[in-house]
Amino acid sequence: MPPRLGIHEAARRAQILRAARTCIVALGYERVTVRGVAETANVSTGTIIHYFGDKDTMLEAALLDKVQDTGIAFRAALAGAQTAWERLERLVTASLPETDEVRDEWRLWLTFWGEVTRNERLRAVSERQHRRWTRFLARIIAEGSASGEFAAVDPAITATQLAALIDGLAIQTTLQNPMLSPAQMRQVCLSALQQLLYSHQPAQFMST
């Protein structure tokens, strides 16, 4: 197990990772440099090398750090949800690129996915995170099917469909497709999800 970072070191590391994400969103993955991140974070390049070793490790850590933040935000969004549908609905809502923070997160993923096609190391990261996300969704869907709230769907397949739906719609919304606002994304996503799950109470669900 790696040694635990002290408070000062953890804060400095987080500062660098935030700067790295800012640079990725602004410049694209390939144009980010250690020097540029150092200037944005107001640290030396030596400090970045000390914490991360090289550019790829730093950028991978920046993405995984954001994934962890997103997981925390999702768990907070699920607090108090009473049904499987409500949990899925809240996850869809939390994914909407309607704030600067969430839009920047989707821009980060867009840049990352573009690099994945050329970088085997990052491809492994992407596949691992996709598996975690779909397993998380599948557990909720399985609970809903087991309780009779949803039809007897295949949780893994439906989770993959939902993940693809969220990703595809969020990309178009983040790219400011004039035909797809965040509110429209939510409506389209929930309508399609309703059909996938054969919801028994469409009027109630779609009115929330």
Residue whose pair of structure tokens reads 């397949």 in the numeric block: 157
**Tell me, what's the pLDDT at 142?**
97
Amino acid identity, position 162: L
Task: Say if residues 111 and 158 touch (Cβ distance below 8 Å).
Answer: no
8 A C-beta contact, residue 186 and residue 74: no
Q: What is 80-208's CATH number? A: 1.10.357.10
Q: What is the DSSP letter of 82?
A: -
pLDDT computed for residue 95 by the predictor: 95
Looking at domain 1-65, what is its CATH homologous superfamily? Answer: Homeodomain-like (1.10.10.60)
Report pLDDT for 202.
Answer: 45
Give the residue extent of every domain in the chain: 1-65, 80-208
CB atoms within 10 A of CB 88: 26
pLDDT of residue 207: 39
Residues 6 or more apart in contact with residue 122 via CB below 8 angstroms: 56, 60, 112, 115, 116
* pLDDT of the chain, 208 residues: tens digit per residue: 444 556 688 889 999 999 999 999 888 888 999 999 999 999 999 999 999 999 889 988 998 888 888 889 999 999 999 999 999 999 999 999 998 888 888 988 888 888 888 888 888 888 999 999 999 999 999 999 999 999 999 999 999 999 999 999 999 999 888 889 999 999 999 999 999 997 544 434 443 4
pLDDT for the residue numbered 122: 85
Give 129-166 as a DSSP string: HHHHHHHHHHHHHHHHHHHTSS-S--HHHHHHHHHHHH
Q: What is the pLDDT of residue 200?
A: 47
Domains 1-65 and 80-208 fall in the same CATH topology: no
